[in-house]
Structure 1
């Protein structure tokens, strides 16, 4: 880990909460059945509801059904987006460019790969044959993380990889070439190796290291 960066307690990681505006999301979803009921029970902070990782993990426990997978996709998007109307609209293009049936089929296939083969194979599936338009790695790795981190298949727990985390990886590994987006499957496998090694050394879970990398990346500006 970079000097001066502390690994957060897992309770703090699970409590990482993001504000959201329900009224901006629901008109952009295919129908009301895509909205997870757990989001309506989120606590209010400064007049905005906030969804934390714990809540999205709760939604993920229902991802063995069509409705549960729809709810997980929405919850992961909401948690990763915030309240800006432009950001919400950008994320919601997923629902405009594909039919619900196509999204359902791809989610079912990829989460099946995640359960049967693990994180790297699921990343490949989402990034290639089962890609959902406008659902890029920064967001589909959130989906994989919530669906598979608690009960992983294989040697690696799935983790979130976005431009902020990649910035930190680039800063602490200057000899490695880390792009800001568009990561290949080998890139993701390398990222999981780095984070899992750091987690083992620190005696923590990998998502605690991922959270620390994110915090450090935000500090880099």
Structure 2
């Protein structure tokens, strides 16, 4: 039973002086991979915060194109500066011809019925190459935008970083699948701990994520962007792995080119 597990000592919110910082991202990498969406991507702030992403989910239940834009915002936030994020996002949208409508449906269920029913919908109608780690990022913002209608409940992110923390600090093994029972257990624990600590369940998840990231990197403060990126695609395909590496190299080249252009401008004006 979830209510038999007290909040681990590591969750003391009074010790949490570093809320998650906004995600920095590389616009050029996203423009190149998703040229049809450049006009929308240019509207995204850089860096982009959780609050900034949520703003794009208010009307995402209305039509497929708005849902795709909301999805893009959540993926930009989730991948941050990771070079292959734009490629993987393009792959999800490109290999699922009805991706926009399926994403819209998830947001509509999140709006009307709440977190767990929305998870059930995305789990049963999975998009190719969208695993739980990034699928729950999209789902989180869909529920966050409608939390007032569902007693402040959300569907928090469940990725590798969070699962690692649960194993180490709560002795709870959560799998990285679309299991509804697994996710219900996770949400139940977060909500129980949030009630005990006087904070929301997604605030609990944010503390969990930042504490584990800080430990993984040896930092005493969290990084500027989410770094819990894992292989969410389940490729198992050497050719796909090579494509991911190439996408990452191209993103780094774009970034280097921007720096060189800026340096050339400085030298030219001196």
TM-score (norm 1): 0.82
RMSD: 2.6
Offset of 1:150 from its aligned partner?
4.5
- 1:19-34 aligned at under 5 Å gives the runs 19-29=24-34, 31-32=36-37
Q: Flag structure 2 segments of 5+ consecutive residues without an equivalent.
A: 1-6, 217-270
Pair 73,150 (structure 1): closer, same or farther in 2 beyond 3 Å: closer
Match of 1:178 in 2: 174
2:93 equivalent to 1:112: no
Most deviating of 196-205 and 88-97 = 88-97
- 1:75-86 aligned at under 5 Å gives the runs 75-86=73-84
Using CA pairs under 8 Å that are at least 6 residues apart, name the structure with larger relative contact order, 1 or 2: 2
The one of 38, 44, 51 aligned to 2:48: 51
Offset of 1:18 from its aligned partner?
0.7
Q: Is the 8 A contact 1:34 1:70 kept in 2?
A: no
Tell me the distance in 2 between the aligned counterparts of 1:8 and 1:160.
22
Tell me the matched-pair count. Answer: 207
Offset of 1:9 from its aligned partner?
10
TM-score (norm 2): 0.68
Offset of 1:37 from its aligned partner?
5.1
**Structure 2 SS opposite 1:210:** helix
Match of 2:118 in 1: 122
Q: Flag structure 1 segments of 5+ consecutive residues without an equivalent.
A: 43-48
**Greater gyration radius:** 2
Match of 1:91 in 2: 89
